[in-house]
Amino acid sequence: WRPKWAAYKETQHYKEFFEVRQDWIDARTRKKLVKTLNKDMPKRPKSSYMLFAGEVRERVTKEVTDAGGGMGDIGKKIAEEWENCPEEKKAELAQKSAEDKKVFDVEIVTYKKTDAWGHYCEEKAKLEARQLLKKLIRTKLDGAPKRAPSAPALFKAEIMPKVAEENKEMAPRDLGKKMTQMWVELPDSEKTKYTEQSERKKLEYEQSLAAFKKSDVYTRFLLERQQVKGKENRALCYRTYPKRPPSAFSMYAVEHKSEVEPGKGEGKGRDALMKKYALIPEEEKAKYIERERELKAKFAEEVAAFKEGEPIKTFKAVSQKIKMEFMGEAMKVLTLKFLADAPPPPAKSGFLIWVADKRKAAEEAGDPPKTKRERIEEMQRFKQEWKEVDLGTKFNMEAQKKERAAKWKDDCKEFMEKDHWREYLAECKRMRVPVQSIMADKKRIVKKLKNGMSILPLPEKPETLPIKPPTAVRLFFKENAGQVKEKTELPELWRNLPEEKKQEYAERTEEQAKKYREEMREFNMSEEGKTYYQQMKSITRRNKMARAKDAFLTDMPKKPAKPLIVFMKANVQQVKRANPQAKGIELRNLLMDKWQAMDETEKANILEKAKNDEDEYNEKIGAFRQSENWLKFRRAVMVKKRKPKKKGMLMLRPQAPQGMPKKPLDAFKAYCKENAASGKSIREFATMYRELDEEERATKNREFHEAMEKYTNDLAEFNKSLEGRKFAARIKAFEKKKRTTFARLRFLRDEPKRPLSAFLQFAAEKRPELAEKFPEVKGMSATQAKLAEMWKELSDEDREAYAEKEREAKMAWEQEKADFEKTPNYKKYIAIVARLNKKPGATAKAKSKGIAAPPAPENMPKRPASGFFMYLSEQKKAGVTGSNMQLTEAWRNLGAEGQKKYQDEAAEQLAQYEKDMKEFQKSGEGKRYLRLKGAADKKNRIMLAKTKFLGSAGAPPEPKRPQSAYFLFIADKRATLPPGGKISDTAKQLTEMWQNVTPEEKKTYEDKHNELKEQYEKDMAEYKNSDNFKKYDRALKTITKKVSKPKMKAGGKGAGRGRGRGGNSKPAAADSDSDSDVMGTDNDDSSSSDSDTD
């Protein structure tokens, strides 16, 4: 029975039956999922007919049953009674159904926001995807070959009938254990038979599977499997995606659908609503449009928030995984289907060519094919034999490798010209997988950078490009490679070679090099050579640009799209749905028509948003172009001139900021720019400009002067701005560096160079010897390491000899340096550097920022808000939104009665604040804070008045106080003293000279001082008589004015008590700065003796 049943299951009849049965089981599983996970889901309301049927079903069932009818008769009877039911009853039931529907709509919306509904949706998507994938495997892969059995499986299948016959009473599990034990006890010679049989079946299976994968059925399976997995991924991750808002017409239709006759066709349903919507007033339509705009803005915010969440990240990751799974399998299938006949790639090394020749010889000798394990063991043996092969044979294998590679390339080009290759390209395009390169060359692979740009491979070298000849050492190695087994023996042979032989190799190399140079000159002059170097230059520059962009411009702001492009991208899908046949230019014309017909208000909003985006971009790109990355990018892509530049001369001037005004072109240059399209030369433009009318030239000159005047004013304003000051500082630093570099190159050209250290002297001396003795050592690091090793091997006496040379050279260098520092050139350089590093003297006192106010104590009461601000705070807490103007209008609309609650509360809080403030003012901390704050405010007011009246542009300068006779004497005599002395010693000498001066000479300086003082007093009187000083003086008196206290009568209250002031004490000076009488002291029981003064 089992063999017959297995054969029956392979019939088409059984497969169709199984699919029908499995579809029914899957549907039942989905229904069970709904009942299991949606227990709390609101039940859909019954229709009016179902409500009627529920009312009459019991009676009708009894009547029909008594009459001998069945279930079908019951349905017919209910339908007949429904047809005969009065319209009033139907209307009543319809109204009840509609009311239940409204309740259901609310409940179902609430339920769909619960976690239970989300869990159900996820499980449903997973279940449906699982069922579809199983169905795909059953229906699409039923023709796939069955996997080949293993050796134990073949053994068990053979002995199964016999063992089952002998052990009829044994359970299937025990039968399996018994057969497994029999396989273990089977001799190896018997096992080999089954192993070989299994290997043959596996080979047949692999061939059958490859043939099946070439079929279109397997390709369709891959595509449909990708679609099912993608659908499941979208259903799981996009479940919480925000719902798109309704249009203005949709909102109108929902509100007015009861006013039209339901149904489809002209004058009914949607058609009637659209006509009605077209006739409503523009004001009402504008309300719907405004609501639509608000909903769209909210929808955009929700979408942006969704795109930042975890679901979208999961969706992208899973999508990439699905894509890579499909792409990997699809590329394998297409390779089997189309590239099986492609030319096989040649061996990548001479060793593999040698191995291929060995295996070919073995096959011709009649050796049987080997298993995988035997091939691995054979390869290990070949590797050992390859080590014993002479270098001549190895060189021959390498030459064959190059010949085979060239032939393989020609075969590939021929293969790619066939129709089979074009079919492959078309299939790759249809399945959206990359085309595999059959001529894969690691040097030719196009690398992709993070920014999406490509690193192009360099062009192939032309066949006519001369090959550079080898050096003498390499020529010797090539000719004597067959004499040794290891490459490491060749350098020793070269070192032992006589000098005459070495000279012969050198002469041969020189002849070849001379011939190579002549051929290179001819190649450089040929068209092929010029084309090759032009391609090299172009690709090198492009790759240089791509690498620089990838390294430095990753954070560069992206320029926003034009408003028309933004509009087209937003509306292209909608226009495509309305016009599915439109493509290309026709689709663009439809979008342009829609743009032209757009409402001006909506278009203005799009244009305004585009302008804001453009302004924001300009601001960001301006800031980016001041960054270090932009400067590095400019340096990286800068085309260097062929003329070699001196060391230290590669400097880039800082780029002008985005907001810096640009200097206008003069009249002639502006004229040339206007007519640049004509393609004329500068000389022709100059002739044309001279031939212009005087009036036209005068107009152009006037426009230039006006533009220049505007530029001057704008530049002055820019220089005052923060950005302008920063740019000026960068320019100053650049000019300083530039002038220092020029000075160094100009004046320090003959500066002695520091001598080499002992090790560097040894390295310079031994480097030629190293190249001759150890030609295999190449590269800077390897050479340096070898020299360091040789230096360590030196004896102490030899190292001391080099150290002595270093000391002698250093002493000579120091002497040369000292002599050089006395030269005029060095002094000029030092003077320039000192002048550049000198800080500019302060020409005017820096503006004071004022006296900082003392920090307020933590226990200081805070002034409460007014009634209006209390109302605003309450509205914001309640979630009321609106502009300040709208909230202010709402406050006015409250009226006196509505505002009273807030005003009373504000008055209570203000009264409490004043009470707390009085207590705070009585405390020691409060008194101190108020006193310090008053003093700071007073000083700041004085400084502000001085700046306002005496520091403005029109204020007269204050006369400078004249020097005394002593300082006049010092000013005359300082120049007579020798320079370079200490300041203290110079001051002592000048003081002694003043003390020893004669009375007549001293009187000369005193008379001079008196003349200057008299002039100063006149200037000071005139200065104090100016309007600015009078205004300042009045402001100063107002600020420092004190409120006088009433005098206490002698013997009155407080007379004679306490220390300090008594009844007969003198009043305080009017210009005293003491604040103790007004502000009190730090202590609660203050006294005048403890008060602080300024």
Q: What would the pLDDT profile of 152-173 be if each residue is shown by its tens digit?
A: 998 888 888 888 888 888 888 8
Task: Please choose, from the candidates 542, 537, 473, the residue with its C-alpha nearest in 3D space to the C-alpha of residue 508.
Answer: 473
In this structure, the number of other CB atoms found within 10 A of the CB of residue 233 comes to 20
In contact, 749 and 823? CB cutoff 8 Å: no
Task: Please choose, from the candidates 649, 659, 595, the residue with its C-alpha nearest in 3D space to the C-alpha of residue 626.
Answer: 659
Share of the chain above pLDDT 70, in %: 88
Going by the DSSP 8-state scheme, the letter that residue 555 receives in this structure is: T
In contact, 277 and 252? CB cutoff 8 Å: yes
Q: Which two tokens stand for residue 897?
A: 């009665």
In contact, 704 and 670? CB cutoff 8 Å: yes
For residue 320, the model assigns a pLDDT of 93
What is the rounded distance in angstroms from the CA atom of residue 84 to the CA atom of residue 328? 68
Each residue's pLDDT tens digit, 611-667: 888 889 988 888 888 888 888 888 888 766 554 444 444 567 788 887 888 888 888
Band the pLDDT of 1065: cuts 50, 70, 90. very low
For residue 1074, the model assigns a pLDDT of 38
What is the mean predicted confidence (pLDDT) over 124-133?
93
- Residue 454, strand partner residues: 448
For residue 443, the model assigns a pLDDT of 45
Length of the chain: 1094
In contact, 175 and 167? CB cutoff 8 Å: yes
Q: Which two tokens stand for residue 196?
A: 């070989």
Contacts of 264 (CB under 8 A, 6+ apart): 270, 271
Each residue's pLDDT tens digit, 997-1029: 888 888 888 888 888 888 888 888 888 888 888
Share of the chain above pLDDT 90, in %: 8
For residue 377, the model assigns a pLDDT of 82
In contact, 945 and 1034? CB cutoff 8 Å: no
Give the residue with greater pLDDT, 196 vs 394.
196
CA trace torsion 496, 499, 501, 505 (10° rounding): 100
Each residue's pLDDT tens digit, 366-405: 666 666 677 778 888 888 888 777 777 877 888 888 888 8
Each residue's pLDDT tens digit, 668-695: 888 887 776 555 677 777 888 878 887 8
For residue 980, the model assigns a pLDDT of 53
Band the pLDDT of 442: cuts 50, 70, 90. very low
DSSP 933-990: HHHHHHHHHHHHHHHHHHSSTTSPPPPPPPPPHHHHHHHHHGGGSPTT--HHHHHHHH
What is the rounded distance in angstroms from the CA atom of residue 867 to the CA atom of residue 875? 12
For residue 23, the model assigns a pLDDT of 93
In contact, 148 and 204? CB cutoff 8 Å: yes
What is the rounded distance in angstroms from the CA atom of residue 793 to the CA atom of residue 806? 19
Q: Where are the alpha helices (DSSP H) in 168-309?
A: 172-185, 188-213, 216-237, 248-256, 269-279, 282-307
How many whole angstroms from its chain centre is CA 48? Answer: 61
For residue 662, the model assigns a pLDDT of 86
Residue type present at position 557: P
In this structure, the number of other CB atoms found within 10 A of the CB of residue 560 comes to 17
Give the residue with greater pLDDT, 973 vs 815.
815
Q: Is residue 728 scored above 90 in pLDDT? A: no
Band the pLDDT of 229: cuts 50, 70, 90. very high
Give the residue with greater pLDDT, 447 vs 558.
558
Q: Is residue 20 scored above 90 in pLDDT? A: yes
For residue 1052, the model assigns a pLDDT of 42
What is the rounded distance in angstroms from the CA atom of residue 814 to the CA atom of residue 573? 81
Q: What percent of the residues of the chain are helix, what percent strand, and what percent coil, each to the nearest 5?
A: 70, 0, 30
For residue 1075, the model assigns a pLDDT of 38
Give the residue with greater pLDDT, 609 vs 464.
609
Q: Which two tokens stand for residue 290?
A: 């405004």
For residue 722, the model assigns a pLDDT of 86
For residue 1077, the model assigns a pLDDT of 36
Most confident region among 110-124, 456-470, 589-603 by mean pLDDT = 110-124
Q: According to the 3-state scheme, what is the secondary structure of 83-122?
A: HCCCHHHHHHHHHHHHHHHHHHHHHHHHHCCCHHHHHHHH
Helix, strand, or coil (residue 454): strand
Give the residue with greater pLDDT, 873 vs 122.
122
What is the rounded distance in angstroms from the CA atom of residue 294 to the CA atom of residue 302? 12
Q: Which two tokens stand for residue 533?
A: 């170097």
Lowest mean pLDDT among 58-72, 705-719, 825-839: 825-839
What is the mean predicted confidence (pLDDT) over 48-60?
90
For residue 448, the model assigns a pLDDT of 54
Print burial letters for 711-720: b (CB count within 10 Å at least 16), e (below 16): eeeeeeebee
For residue 1080, the model assigns a pLDDT of 39
Helix, strand, or coil (residue 1036): helix
How many whole angstroms from its chain centre is CA 926? Answer: 54
What is the mean predicted confidence (pLDDT) over 859-863?
86
State the average pLDDT for the chain.
Answer: 81
Give the residue with greater pLDDT, 694 vs 111.
111
Q: Is residue 133 scored above 90 in pLDDT? A: yes
Band the pLDDT of 1046: cuts 50, 70, 90. very low
Q: Phi and psi at residue 455, in whole multiples of 5°?
A: -100, 105
- Helix (H) or strand (E) holding 19, with range, is helix 12-37
Q: Is residue 227 scored above 90 in pLDDT? A: yes
Band the pLDDT of 26: cuts 50, 70, 90. very high
In contact, 231 and 351? CB cutoff 8 Å: no
What is the mean predicted confidence (pLDDT) over 885-899?
81
Each residue's pLDDT tens digit, 232-255: 999 999 988 998 899 988 999 888
Contacts of 276 (CB under 8 A, 6+ apart): 256, 259, 260
For residue 365, the model assigns a pLDDT of 74
- Residue 448, strand partner residues: 454
Contacts of 1030 (CB under 8 A, 6+ apart): 1024
In contact, 122 and 239? CB cutoff 8 Å: yes
